[in-house]
Structure 1
Amino acid sequence: MFGFGKASDRIAISFENEGSRTKKALSASSTQLPVFGSTESVRGQVEVRVPAGKKVEHLGVKIELIGQIEMYYDRGNFHDFTSLVRELDSPGVLLRDQRYAFDFGNVEKPYESYNGLNVRLRYFVRVTVTRNYTSGNMVKEAEFLTLLAQPPPDVNNSIKMEVGIEECLHIEFEYDKVKYHLSDIIIGKVYFLLVRIKIKHMELAIIRREAAGTGAQQYNESETVTKFEVMDGAPVRGECIPIRLFLNNYNVTPTYRNIANKFSVKYYLNLVLVDQEERRYFKQQEITLYRAAAA
């Protein structure tokens, strides 16, 4: 495009206060990205670099802010739920490096960023330097995250349930609440009211279930976020086993419910009893996770 190198290498995008802005990664393997609030303005600067002795003829320079959902099974087909455009320059010729400021003021970002098994929801700005057909356009993207804080729920009831096998096993379990913020502690108890089978151990797991797509194109995937043993050995009648689980030790996201009619993410507590014959008895309970506002 310029006689050497990639066209995208000749465009640089920086966000306002990027050096001091909070950065996060959606997973251990992903890149740290700047974080913006749900209605925070997205501002920054674009630089188009022109090699010495060269010139760039163009048909206009624009920047877009896009909120997008991508299904991994349908790559190349995107759902844009937010799309804003700003013109940075009218058609002309660049003889030297050119800088442009951009400002998407108080833009609404309705959903939280997410990167899952079959779907991702992302926000990014895209700069396009439009050129003629033979030269080809120059395009560069810069991604950012949106994390949506929520107030504590007004009502947050405890969970109490019974499970058993007639005349063999009867247990009650209790969790302190049904809604937890991402750094919360799950506190619970398991009461053994009747035990006539040989229990070997008991374990608790957090299960994440992702449903992406609709109809025949819906993909449902479950993954175990964590699993740990809460009891080893046979319990006796009347015994009470405490549960204490620190959520901030694990890579959990908020619960997502029917986001843009494209996907949902739900979490479950799965309590499992394993007997001496390796038979497994389990009970699942859905919980809601949310991101708490910073204190």
Structure 2
Amino acid sequence: MKPQTIIDTSVDLCGPNSLTNQQVMYPFEFAPLNQYESYNGKFLKLKYVLSVRIMSKSHINPQEKEFALIIPHTPSLIQPINQELGIEKIIQLDLKLSKNSYALNDVVMGSLFIRLLHVKICRVEMNVIRVESIGRPLMEKSRTNFKNIQLVDGQLVKGDIVPLRFFLKNLQLTPTLTNIADIFSVNYYLSFDFIDEEGMKYNCATEINLYRGEKDQKDVRMIPPVNIVDLEHLASVSHLYIGESDHPTEEQENVGGSDNPTEEQVNSQPNEVPKQESDEDKLPSFGDDFKEEVDEETKQDDTPKKSTSNNVEDFIF
């Protein structure tokens, strides 16, 4: 079958004698059209191509770019399915589904109730099938089996209820396309195979409608870090001091007055010899009780030991 054009529309971007060597951007917009979602199947393909043509005396090849069109859509009427299926006088069953239309990431839930069974069924399988049809009237051209699910493995008798529950998210499905431009259709079916002890298959199927729902919007913006410091209560610093020994504090400046002491102040101060810190002064003070315990232990044993106290956890001397 030759490719057929479903939609063909064009707009003029600029008039004659208006193109120059400079880079120019020409905005364009297409009026609302009968839009169909892009489709790439086994036998059929629906694609959109944007083509740019420059009319000149010399031939210039048109520039083409293919793009995909996705159309989210939710059916206006969604209702449950309660349908009788089977083969006359051999198998009769009631199929119940939670709804007749499913999103592409939905879950199919339902049950099969066996009303009549005149053969010995040992296995029941379900298949998700896509059928591509084309022409006027529509003729089936391709049948694709996406999923085979084993529902029953064992003897099946009248009155049994077979639960149905499977996910569509992991299947490469597309929305149902019905009579696109009077050219083709894409339909989906749930097919049930009842297999007896001799290997004979009894098949019945029902159609389901698939649609592309609205995508979940996720906020991917980065949240800036929160400043937990209260800047209003911070005081400004007029001078930067590297060390306390080199520069006096603000309180010392206020008490002492001027930076340079007079000779009287120097002479009045007694000559004090700086006291050198001993090794005992460098040790942390833990209380009198703790020191007594340490002295008693050192007298009993000259070797260093690990002492414990209620106030201090582990210290080694």
TM-score bucket (shorter structure): 0.5 to 0.7
Corresponding position of 1:20: none
User: Could you tell me how far 1:231 is from its partner in structure 2?
Assistant: 1.5
User: Could you tell me how far 1:91 is from its partner in structure 2?
Assistant: 4.0
Corresponding position of 2:11: 85
Q: Note closer, same or farther for the CA distance 1:242–1:276 as it changes in structure 2 (3 Å cut).
A: same
Q: Please, what is the CA RMSD of the aligned residues?
A: 2.6
CA contact (8 A) 1:88 1:102 kept: no
Map residues 205-284 of structure 1 onto 2, 5 A cutoff. Answer: 205-214=127-136, 220-284=141-205
User: Comparing both chains, which one has the higher relative contact order based on Cα–Cα distances under 8 Å and sequence gaps of 6 or more?
Assistant: 1
SS at structure 1 position matched to 2:13: strand
CA distance in 2, matches of 1:90, 1:218: 48
Corresponding position of 1:114: 39
Greater helix content: 2
CA contact (8 A) 2:132 2:143 kept: yes
The code of the aligned residue for 1:74 comes to K
Corresponding position of 2:54: 129
CA contact (8 A) 2:6 2:181 kept: no
Q: Is 1:100 paired with 2:28?
A: no
- Which of 74, 80, 84 is equivalent to 1:161? 84
| TM-score (norm. length: structure 1) | 0.64
CA distance in 1, matches of 2:60, 2:11: 17
User: Could you tell me how far 1:214 is from its partner in structure 2?
Assistant: 2.6
User: Could you tell me how far 1:196 is from its partner in structure 2?
Assistant: 4.5
User: Could you tell me how far 1:202 is from its partner in structure 2?
Assistant: 0.8
**1:89-126 deviation per Cα after TM superposition (whole angstroms, max 9, x unaligned):** 63477556x34333215643521111223332222211
Q: Note closer, same or farther for the CA distance 1:197–1:251 as it changes in structure 2 (3 Å cut).
A: same
Q: Is 1:140 paired with 2:63?
A: yes
**1:3-23 deviation per Cα after TM superposition (whole angstroms, max 9, x unaligned):** xxxxxxxxxxxxxxxxxxxxx
Q: Note closer, same or farther for the CA distance 1:170–1:120 as it changes in structure 2 (3 Å cut).
A: closer
The gaps in structure 2 that reach 5 residues or longer are 217-317
CA distance in 1, matches of 2:155, 2:193: 14
Map residues 31-46 of structure 1 onto 2, 5 A cutoff. Answer: none
CA distance in 1, matches of 2:117, 2:109: 23
User: Could you tell me how far 1:283 is from its partner in structure 2?
Assistant: 0.9
User: Could you tell me how far 1:269 is from its partner in structure 2?
Assistant: 1.0
The gaps in structure 1 that reach 5 residues or longer are 1-72
Greater strand content: 1
CA contact (8 A) 1:118 1:219 kept: no
SS at structure 1 position matched to 2:169: helix
Larger Rg: 2
